[in-house]
Amino acid sequence: MDPQEHEADHGTGSPAAPHMTPEELRLWGRRFLDWVAGYHEQIESYPVLSQVRPGEVADGLPQSPPAEPEGFDAVLDDLERVIVPGLTHWQSPGFFAFFPTPATGPAILGDLLSSGLGVQGMLWASSPACTELESRVLDWLVELCGLPQRFRSDGSGGGVIQDSASSSALCALVAARERALTSAAGATIADLVVYTSQHAHSSIYKSARIAGFGADRVRYVDSDPTYAMSPEALAAAAVADRAAGLVPCAVVGTVGTTSSLAFDPVARLAAIARSEGMWTHVDGALAGAAAVCPEFRFVNRGLAAVDSYCFNPHKWLLTNLDCTAMWVADREALTGALSVTPEYLRNPHSEKGTVIDYRDWQVPLGRRFRSLKLWLVLRWYGAEGLQTHIRSGVAWAQQFAGWVREHPDFSLAAPAPLNLVCFRHRGGDEVNRRILDAVNEEGRFYITHTVLDGQYTLRLSVGTVATRAHHVEAAWDAITAAAANL
């Protein structure tokens, strides 16, 4: 660059880019909001599971980026023409697949605020409200869900919003690893063992592998007939590993497994972990939200003795992706493992240690203001509204489970304590596969499957915001009709 050229700009300056003005944001914002609201209004007109073939969406998009600014009318047209047909509609009332991922109005507005404010909460100082609102709403969740007091931020613990239960498990395992390496003299990472169950989410194994644990150092402890981890088997595995010169490092339990909503006996696992010097992390991704209802607090059993815990408000607590609530009992164990401070992040408040810097609680440095959406959800619904949502999901799933029990050709494949029902037709794997395909191809519903005891098993997960009792009933009709038509 020629300095003379810049000098010539002095006063007038180089031209600014064609940024969208606040007034344009108001105008276009209304158009886009209207489009989003309309999408929800007409969501039942789309097949739940996208029917495009691979490459079809890409074929509808230009090969090259636009050279010049484009009008946003064209974008809205392309949304309808190219994007919508390529969506699997997670917000459809007929979406009974995987797990619910809510996109509620208050959460959408919370995200809008976060995007609009555009602050970055890596440090307390980089936007104090981003840190303090987050700590406060996670303390609120401790109260709302009846979680252990030791998770509160006014003691030695505290909560943090992670992007996912996967990342929460990763952070917990890194903290566990560092604690084990510090306390077990001479041990290396190759000596450390992580225990979980075959029914734990795949992210547990993945997180352990990312954290450097060997593939042969993740033990799948045996389960009982309800798919819950066996404490006896855990104790035996730890003893055997100690005898082999290895170091039991962490146990990861699950309250409400992804496959079948099985509940590991957390209190007993944590007691074994404590006696072996292990870290206990518990993943309550889906089911943890049920604890907003006092009658479902069984999901919290044993949490008073664990080191870390998480559940996903972005699954069943009406907050859109991404919002995982994670708590630790000893925040220094977490931050000690994840804190690295270069000079350019030093600031008086952090140096004094009087504030929380959430960058030390997570993998990334940067962070969005994600507590806004949780704050808006908690205020819009109140405890009452959240409870009503959980109770309706449980009631409708239990109703469905009742129909399965009463039908001569279908049976439950696992206990159905909350909003997930695992079931199968007595005709065997191929018949169940054909029922699944027939229901999903028809378009009004989307259900997925798992394998339990080696048998192909259908799953119906209730909790999408738009779902009502009659959708669950219609899904059952579609399933039985598909079975009858085989």
Interaction residues for its own copies, span 86-145 (CB under 8 A): 86-91, 98, 101-109, 111-113, 115-120, 124-130, 132-133, 135-137, 140-141, 143-144
Nearer to its own copies, 84 or 267 (CB): 84
What distance in Å separates the CA atoms of residue 462 and residue 452, rounded to the nearest whole number? 20
Judged by CB under 8 A, does residue 396 bind its own copies?
yes
Site for its own copies in 196-255 (CB under 8 A): 201-203, 205-207, 209-214
Q: How many other CB atoms are there within 10 angstroms of residue 85's CB atom?
A: 15
Nearer to its own copies, 52 or 184 (CB): 52
**Shortest Cβ 241–its own copies spacing (Å):** 18
Contact 74, 113 (CB under 8 A): no
Judged by CB under 8 A, does residue 81 bind its own copies?
no
Q: Which of 179, 331, 368, 425 binds its own copies (CB under 8 A)?
A: 368
Site for its own copies in 370-389 (CB under 8 A): 375-376, 378-386, 388-389
Which residues share a beta bridge with 162?
324
Question: CB burial class (10 A; 0-12, 13-18, 19+) of residue 204?
Answer: buried
Nearer to its own copies, 85 or 443 (CB): 85
Question: Does an H or E element contain 448, and which?
Answer: strand 448-452
**Shortest Cβ 402–its own copies spacing (Å):** 5
Judged by CB under 8 A, does residue 186 bind its own copies?
no
In angstroms, what CA-CA distances link 455 with 17, 414, 433, 435?
59, 12, 11, 15
Q: Which of 45, 188, 225, 245 binds its own copies (CB under 8 A)?
A: 188
Burial string for 137-158 (b: 16+ CB within 10 Å, else e) reads bbbebbebbebbebbbbeeebb
Site for its own copies in 412-451 (CB under 8 A): 448-451
Judged by CB under 8 A, does residue 33 bind its own copies?
yes
What distance in Å separates the CA atoms of residue 57 and residue 221, rounded to the nearest whole number? 43
Number of residues forming the site for its own copies (CB under 8 A): 177
Nearer to its own copies, 233 or 395 (CB): 395
Judged by CB under 8 A, does residue 294 bind its own copies?
no
Judged by CB under 8 A, does residue 262 bind its own copies?
no
Closest CA to 276 of 208, 184, 199: 184
Nearer to its own copies, 233 or 474 (CB): 474
**Shortest Cβ 15–its own copies spacing (Å):** 6
Question: Does an H or E element contain 220, and which?
Answer: strand 218-221
What distance in Å separates the CA atoms of residue 448 and residue 436, rounded to the nearest whole number? 7
